Amino acid sequence: MLWRGWGEPEKEAPLPEPVRELLEALLGVRAPAAPAAGLDEVRLPPVALGAGALEELRAAVGAEHVRDDAEARVRHTRGKSTPDLIRMRRGDGSDAPDAVVCPGSHAEVERVLALCSGRRIAVVPFGGGTSVVGGLAPERGGFAGVIALDLRRLDRLVAVDEESMLAELEPGLRAPDAERLLGAHGLTLGHFPQSYEYATLGGFAAARSSGQASAGYGRFDDMVAGLTVATPRGTLDLGRAPRSAAGPDLRQLVLGSEGAFGVITSLRLRVRRRPGAAAYEGWRFGSFTEGARAVRALAQGGGRLPAVLRLSDETETMVGLARPDELGEGGPGAGCLLVAGHEGATPEDVAAARERTAAALSAYGGEPLGPEPGEGWARGRYSAPYLRDALLAAGATAETLETAGFWSALPALYESVRAALREALGSPLVMCHISHVYETGASLYFTVVTAQGPDPVGEWARAKRAANEAIVAAGGTISHHHGVGRDHLAAYAAEIGEVGVEILRAVKERLDPAGVLNPGVLVP
């Protein structure tokens, strides 16, 4: 993956000239003064770990699995939020780990945790490195050094239990590799987030990820039937039945724990049969309010939802962002685009699902647009991160943020986040969509584009703080699927209250007494 951006470097492409001109006219976007730094120009702090610590790490996992060269350190610096990328483009490698350590088994993870606890070396569990909330940039203060614990060698499909529709997989598997291995058994997870190409199963569990097909397949945390976790205090092995009344569900302490309580080394995941047929289509609604009403009716109707259900607001539809490959083709007055993606065992199943959905959407004022808008969305479903790189290079800041709330609170949440972003950034382009729906509510996913000023990282930090405060005040959650990291700590503390914070601190102290696991992340 491109170290200062997204995807294969050869897929990097400049912004189409008409889009660049439009951004210049609308938002005052101008090319940055300096080009992006080269890999060898990134400024790194000296390696803080002494020879003794490095020797012990090599003994724990094998010498060839410990790297402290500049390239390995750069590639494990922070995650992939827009501020992360801007800082890398400017050659700022100040958060680089001192070394990258790749364990090959649960036992090796335990060994590394024991030695890092003894030597007070901070450990950052590292999956695909796609965190967008500062989940990979721990606080260094008071530690002898920082290692990135890269889980890429834990990449096996361990077992498939087709009778129970469960698969045991290791956490370092990237999503496409997991799908390939499961595909050989005719199975799928159905988890397709926009970061699909690079993110790992461990990262999905640790950050409570939700994929683009969550309406049909559910969130990742819903798929986790069981997991194994290495902590500095020993091993946790959780989940032995589909449901249990044996006390509180301790799996929930691990899901979303972002490497602060332990390292997930194995996952037992619910799987589904691969669909034999699919059909994607588009619908038009006159307004976001009308479309949201239709989506709510579907979610509360009791029937099976389409695998993908995604409603863009007026601005996102106008810009054409739902189909990044066809950016700028929405046009004014386009209303609001809804994409419905149906998947099923046979074409007949899909046809029946389409009919049910069509009846509900028509009843709420939806107008069918045929397959092209849906298929266009499906073609471009992983393109937006590449577009972000082109926008950054052209001098725009493009970033996303997300929340969720109950249906009755959603309109106010939507308006207050937009107002906060506009107030903080002047006249940015603020777009939104609903793509994860439940009977009781939905998530709101905002994309913001604005001109880069002299301090784009600081400007975005102020805007993000304002948006977070608006989310808390409007009763939404600080994250529906990106997690807490370091970026959401203050708002997370406000959301769970003092007692909630005390509980998190107590768990952290018990499982990680030396406090070496991802310090500064998750626990306020």
List of residues contacting ligand FAD (CB under 6 A): 6, 79-80, 124-132, 135-136, 151, 171, 193-195, 199-200, 202-204, 206-207, 209-210, 212, 258-259, 263-264, 385, 481-483, 518, 521
Are 8 and 79 in contact by the 8 Å Cβ rule? The answer is: no
Are 1 and 10 in contact by the 8 Å Cβ rule? The answer is: no
Name which of 205 and 318 has its Cβ closer to ligand FAD: 205
Helix (H) or strand (E) holding 339: strand 336-344
Are 400 and 417 in contact by the 8 Å Cβ rule? The answer is: no
Shortest Cβ distance from residue 401 to ligand FAD (Å)? 12
Q: CA–CA separation, 167 vs 36, rounded Å? A: 43
Q: In sequence order, which ranges of 163-224 are alpha helices (DSSP H)?
A: 175-183, 201-206, 214-217, 220-223
Are 351 and 297 in contact by the 8 Å Cβ rule? The answer is: no
Q: Please tell me whether residue 360 adopts helix, strand or coil conformation.
A: helix
Name which of 106 and 185 has its Cβ closer to ligand FAD: 106
Closest CA to 123 of 155, 76, 84, 81: 76
Are 339 and 282 in contact by the 8 Å Cβ rule? The answer is: yes
Name which of 146 and 337 has its Cβ closer to ligand FAD: 146
Name which of 160 and 263 has its Cβ closer to ligand FAD: 263
DSSP structure class, residue 239: -
Shortest Cβ distance from residue 49 to ligand FAD (Å)? 19
Name which of 284 and 481 has its Cβ closer to ligand FAD: 481
Task: Name the phi and psi angles at 438, rounded to 5.
Answer: -135, 170
Torsion, CA 202, CA 200, CA 105, CA 120, rounded to 10: -60
Shortest Cβ distance from residue 114 to ligand FAD (Å)? 17
Give the residues across from 7 on adjacent strands.
Answer: none
Name which of 88 and 264 has its Cβ closer to ligand FAD: 264
Q: How are the residues of the chain apportioned to helix, strand and coil, as percentages rounded to the nearest 5?
A: 40, 20, 40
Shortest Cβ distance from residue 204 to ligand FAD (Å)? 4
Name which of 79 and 366 has its Cβ closer to ligand FAD: 79
Shortest Cβ distance from residue 3 to ligand FAD (Å)? 14
Which residue reads 């106008």 in tokens?
A: 318
User: In sequence order, what are the residues at sequence separation of 6 or more whose Cβ sits closer than 8 angstroms to the Cβ of residue 282?
Assistant: 337, 338, 339, 340, 368, 369, 370, 371, 372, 373, 374, 376, 377
Name which of 188 and 416 has its Cβ closer to ligand FAD: 188
Shortest Cβ distance from residue 294 to ligand FAD (Å)? 23
Shortest Cβ distance from residue 423 to ligand FAD (Å)? 26
Shortest Cβ distance from residue 497 to ligand FAD (Å)? 23
Shortest Cβ distance from residue 80 to ligand FAD (Å)? 4
**Which amino acid, 492?**
Y
Shortest Cβ distance from residue 303 to ligand FAD (Å)? 25
Name which of 19 and 173 has its Cβ closer to ligand FAD: 173
Task: Name the phi and psi angles at 122, rounded to 5.
Answer: -70, 140
Name which of 119 and 481 has its Cβ closer to ligand FAD: 481
Q: CA–CA separation, 438 vs 448, rounded Å? A: 25
Shortest Cβ distance from residue 394 to ligand FAD (Å)? 18
Residue nearest to ligand FAD as judged by C-beta position: 203
Shortest Cβ distance from residue 508 to ligand FAD (Å)? 14
**Which amino acid, 25?**
A
| Whole-number CA gyration radius for the chain | 23
Q: CA–CA separation, 381 vs 321, rounded Å? A: 10
- Tokens representing 176? 């496409």
HSE (CB half, 13 Å, CA atoms) of 113?
Answer: 28
Name which of 88 and 361 has its Cβ closer to ligand FAD: 88
Name which of 194 and 477 has its Cβ closer to ligand FAD: 194
- Tokens representing 499? 């007692």
How far, CA to CA in Å, does 416 sit from each of 84, 289, 373, 408? Answer: 26, 15, 29, 14
